[in-house]
Amino acid sequence: MAKSAIGFGSNLGDSVKILNDSRQILAQTSGIKLLSLSSWYKTVPIGPPQPDYINACAVLEVELTPLQLLETLLKIEQQFSRTRTQRWGPRTLDLDLLLFEDLIFNSNNLQIPHPRLRERAFVLVPLAEIAPDWIEPVSGVTIAKLLQQVDTSGVHRL
């Protein structure tokens, strides 16, 4: 079993319902155990003009490889009609693999830790709620310390 952190996001449709439903699907997926889930946060979007997001993070225990976990997350996104038409555009569901143990991994379709994890308050705030002492392996710094280095003014607990 490996510990992994993922991020949830949605800003199209009934985002809270979509996120709750996707969390349930994830928790019922073979090889995945949901250990903890952060609160939901309303966050200001990055990218083109669009509605605010609802974001959260979860810590999982998985029997999957990172690529298998990514494939599982992408399949769940598809169940909620996720389309990828615009970089950082609006979406019904976004599931990001953020951390996988202390692994540093790069392939054509997956980078661990998530490449923008250290600069995104909408990820660091919920992740620090449930895993403040997790050390981000590239920087060697805890999530709690990384959180102190970003502007959190656009992140508000629901």
Domain locations in the chain as residue ranges: 2-157
Q: What is the pTM of this model?
A: 0.93
Tell me the residue length of the chain.
Answer: 158
Q: Give whole-number Cα distances, 35 to 25, 42, 56, 102, in Å.
A: 14, 22, 14, 17
pLDDT per position as a tens digit, 19-68: 999 999 999 999 999 999 999 999 999 878 889 999 999 999 999 999 99
Active site residue 87: no
* DSSP type of residue 5: E
Contacts of residue 140, defined as CB under 8 A and 6 or more positions apart, other chains included, come to none
Active site residue 14: no
The CATH architecture to which 2-157 belongs is 2-Layer Sandwich (3.30)
96 is catalytic: yes
> How far apart are alpha carbons 142 and 135 in whole angstroms?
4
The pLDDT value given to residue 82: 56
Exactly one of 23, 94, 118, 120 is catalytic; name it: 94
